[in-house]
Amino acid sequence: MSASLERGLDRFRESLDADTAGFFATCVRCGMCAEACLFYTETEEPRYTPIHKLQPLKRLWWREYTLVGRIAAALGLSKPVTGGELADWSELVYDSCTLCGRCSLVCPVGNDITYMIRRMRDGMAAAGYAPPGLVGATRRAIELGSPMGVQLATLQAQIRHQEEATGLPIPMDREGADYLVLLSSMEIVNTPEMLGALARIFDRAGVSWTLASDAFEATNSGIQIGVAELAREIVMRTVTAAERLGVKGVVSPECGHAYMALRWEGPDLIGRPYRFEVLHILELLDRLRGEGRLKVDSTFNLPITFHDPCQVVRRGGVTEAPRNLLKMVATDVREMEEHGVYNWCCGGGGGVSAIGRAEELRLKAFGKKRGQIEATGAKTVATACANCRVVMEEAIDHYQIGVELVGLTELIADHLETEESHHG
């Protein structure tokens, strides 16, 4: 057995808890999780059944953490987990799972399959079976500070453009600001208008905010690939900056897993609670709306639907804020048939969008979302995750569907009550 395989199996062994053992013991192989997974529904290949993606971890548990399994293993009645097997499972654990959590929501016996996939990825990554695309993104995140290789200079250039476009200052490293706002590389590269949108909204709402030159990137490849120490290193950058600047809150941008990593898992990664609050940008905007500090003076009147980013809504619990905000700014909101916590994933979450070899599968999996969008009749889709947005835009281009994507924050900024309209 290679050292790396043993290291991977040890990660499996480390992470085995009552939850995982209980879930494995409870599974009745009813197959219902398959129907909850867009990689199965769009391909109808049974191997994409979520619970099947955990087979090596389940066998390790049975062989090493149950008496009957231990005896069977000692008698040679079951095979140990091999490197070849993990290599085979790499596609199942990474390419065909976006950690969207839908299977965990429908499992009749209550198994949190996504929770276990995370543990599965921990061991897979440690054993060296993470996909090259995701390894590359992780390397860039650790070595360059961003999975897309975006450097501070790039951000500074975008800041200058947006300051010119809006005529508003975009503060950097301002100590004593109320909120430290994070961005995702996707936003910096693909939708820099988001920066301008934030500047206008915070200006109108009177929010004291800042960016941090040493912690502008919110995404966390360590979480996606499944290496706790790397995830910790990335989270620690934000924690250090936030505590140095003395902010009251850190605002996670329109990005799904960044919110999940920072809001829900960060404290466990660094081993202590934060001294600040973490909010998704939509949570902050909805709070401002509730306080009457966020108003619009025009509305978006074409049919519009909302794509719930899995990690923000189903796994993050930010369900009502996007709807409150959308209702404020749009007059013809058409919900998809399954929405909110029951939404379908775009097909590129959980790091899948960074896996080059998964592109074809990802485009196929988009079929579910495509059907949902088309069923609403809306030609505009708002969302609150830059990754969802880019994944869907690519697929829309690929399939030549006439649908526009828009970030909800930008949409609000576009219809923001201006100084003139306010006084006039």
CA distance 246 to 116: 36
Following CA atoms 409, 324, 367, 224 in sequence, which dihedral angle do they give, to the nearest 10 degrees?
60
Residue 183: beta bridge partners?
Answer: 217
Nearest to another protein of 21, 328 (CB atom): 21
Nearest to another protein of 49, 191 (CB atom): 49
Nearest to another protein of 341, 401 (CB atom): 341
Smallest gap, in angstroms, from Cβ of residue 230 to another protein? 7
Nearest to another protein of 229, 360 (CB atom): 229
Smallest gap, in angstroms, from Cβ of residue 175 to another protein? 24
List strands edge to edge, sheet with 209-210. Answer: 209-210, 179-181, 249-252, 277-280
Smallest gap, in angstroms, from Cβ of residue 53 to another protein? 11
Nearest to another protein of 14, 297 (CB atom): 14
Nearest to another protein of 110, 292 (CB atom): 110
Smallest gap, in angstroms, from Cβ of residue 423 to another protein? 38
Smallest gap, in angstroms, from Cβ of residue 130 to another protein? 6
Cβ atoms of 90 and 131 within 8 Å: the answer is yes
Smallest gap, in angstroms, from Cβ of residue 385 to another protein? 16
Q: What is the DSSP string of 241-272?
A: HHHHHT-SEEEE-S-HHHHIIIIIIHHHHHTS
Smallest gap, in angstroms, from Cβ of residue 7 to another protein? 7
Q: What is the DSSP string of 60-119?
A: HHHHHHSHHHHHHHHTT-SPPP-HHHHHHHHIIIIIT-----HHHHH-TT---HHHHHHH
Positive or negative torsion for Cα 323, 96, 352, 240: positive
Three-class DSSP labels, 393-412 = HHHHHHHCCCCEEEEHHHHH
Query: Which of helix, strand or coil describes residue 368?
Result: helix
CA distance 179 to 170: 13
Nearest to another protein of 135, 328 (CB atom): 135
